[in-house]
A and B are shown apart, each in its own frame.
Chain A
Amino acid sequence: MLQLSKVTKIFNPGSVNEKSALQEITLHVQTGEVITIIGSNGAGKSTLLNVVAGVCEIESGKILLDGEDVTCRPEHIRAAWIGRVFQDPLLGTAASMTIEENLAMALRRGRPRFLRRGITAAERKMFREHLALLGLGLEDRLGTRVGLLSGGQRQALTVLMATIATPKLLLLDEHTAALDPRTARTVMALTERIIAHHHLTTLMVTHNLEQALRTGTRTIMMHEGRIILDLSGPERSRTTVADLLKMFGQASGNIFADDKVLLTGS
């Protein structure tokens, strides 16, 4: 489904601030795999997602999506394959536009846009059904501007928008990190439901180690632009959070200090 081979990304190449965010990353993702990505701050987790989505160009390496070489394709072309949810709930929606307008734009992801009507009556009915499944009461507020919604509602809407035109690949970048614990759980449950329903191939960055092991089928750990651990199958199911921390210490020679605090959370 997704193949990265020897992908290297360097920020500010040739300057004093040069920083190699990804170093020859090779990763093969099978169709239907749900991969959680963990690692300390600056490990390159978000950069990895951005490189896959085409937000930033890479210095070397190759990216294949569904067998097609997309290394040089810009973000808006790759969007045809990819659904994304950002960490900041404000980034995934257009605040000045209504719920139905946002959904209508998401429904047309990767399709050329012409002078056809932006929303049809049939689509409106479909949006209402999808929104009802969220259980947030948004199905009766199609004409409400998104800016009036809470962060949790906006993020739930963004998850729906990322998946309403079924993507081949779903990228989640700590999409519950900015929400309060209760809302985060709701949005996470919704996300898992949608992933399971459509059998979506997913890359999910998370800071929550417990969630990383519990969700999905495979867990990779990143450190300083490299993948230092790749867990799946029975090996993964045996692993505990404490094991993860130990493995991180061994693999990186560091202590997972900055994320330890987060373990006490949900």
Chain B
Amino acid sequence: MSLSVWLGALEQGLLWGAMVLGVYMTFRVLDFPDLTVDGSFTLGAAVAAKLILSGYDPWLALVVALLCGALAGLVTGLLHTQLKVAPLLAGILTMIALYSINLRIMGQANLSLLRAPTIFTWIKGYAALVPLGPFLLGLMLVALVLVLLYLFLDTELGMAIRATGDNEQMIRSLGVNTNTMKLIGLAIANALIALSGGLIAQYQGFADIGMGIGMIVAGLAAVIIGEALVGRQTLVRALLAAITGSIIYRAVISLVLQLGLPPTDLKLLTSLIVVIAMAFPLVRRHLGLKTLRLRSEQGAAAKQSNEDL
């Protein structure tokens, strides 16, 4: 495989990283299986493409895409908190509704950004950066998102959101309106996902109505791969794991495409990756690898408590 293919995988892994962070935010932080993803990713792409084709600045297009994603997340959140719709169904309802909305935004099933100015045509203008321009841009954007998300999750509000996903009853007894926390969490998650959609549309040079299909599974695959390799003991590690997982996932996809797998089989492959990744901890436990480390931690804690009490 040539270097450019690997570089491409790295670039995509970074740009899709924002989406993976969004999935991490809902599935892991909020403990809310949010299926809005498939719709909000395409929403971000559609909004960004439409705005760029209408002559707006590609950066502005990203900001608007981000805000639209937050709105989609809010809708799912309101369905769940106000109408008491179960999380899975709330996400599906928004996702399906977004399919029509996305078609309306785009006006057709596919919008091409060929010859339109994007943030990537802008960075490619700097000759000195060739061929690393898109990679550096992706790296900078993801680093920015990562740092902002980390700082946010460490604020009073961020902590309350994390606690909502961990122990709802406890944080409510500490005076937090958990419904509000869910709304904020879902809005942020889907804003990140839509941002990723807007970035990918500019990167690929088109927005397509079907580009979000299976995005939730791809996001989950990346989260799980990342956690298996990097771990999630601390917040920093968990966030870095999401990005690492995203990059590795894209590398695997590039690899199998290079090996001659028809692109139409990709969804099947993605599902398989999730299944394998979910089985991975079980396999590790059977081999006695994970339990060894965990047992030592638990052993230390138990010993400590015996001495103390």
Contacts and interface: CB of A to CB of B under 8 A. Distances in A.
Interface string B289-309: 000000001100110110111
B304 A95 contact: no
A28 interface: no
Interface stretch (B122-130, B151-159, B218-226, B261-269): B151-159
A94 B305 contact: no
Nearest to A180: B309
Interface in A9-30: none
Nearest to A141: B304
B155 A106 contact: no
A23 B233 CA distance: 48
Interface size classification for chain A: 35 or more
B116 to A, nearest CB: 36
Contacts, number: 108
Contact of B152 (A90, A92, A105, A115): A115
A242 interface: no
- Tell me the interface secondary structure of chain A in the complex: loop
Contacts of A117: 154-156
B301 A115 contact: no
A77 B172 CA distance: 9
Given A94-B166, A97-B163, A118-B155, A105 B171 contact: yes
Interface string A83-107: 0101000111111110001001110
B259 interface: no
B174 interface: yes
Interface stretch (A59-67, A145-153, A192-200): A145-153
B177 interface: yes
Interface string A107-137: 0111101111110000000000000000111
B155 A114 contact: yes
A80 interface: yes
Nearest to B159: A118
Nearest to A78: B175
A182 B162 contact: no
A135 B308 contact: yes
A150 B170 contact: no
B309 A94 contact: no
Given A115-B156, A183-B309, 10 more contacts: A79-B172, A79-B176, A80-B175, A84-B173, A101-B159, A105-B160, A105-B176, A113-B160, A137-B307, A149-B301
Q: Closest 9 A-B residue pairs measured CB to CB?
A: A150-B305, A79-B175, A113-B156, A94-B166, A110-B175, A136-B308, A148-B301, A118-B159, A109-B174
16 contacts: A79-B174, A94-B166, A94-B171, A101-B159, A105-B163, A105-B174, A109-B174, A113-B160, A118-B159, A135-B308, A137-B308, A145-B233, A149-B301, A150-B302, A152-B308, A153-B305
Interface of B: 152, 154-160, 162-163, 166-167, 169-178, 233, 297-298, 301-302, 304-305, 307-309
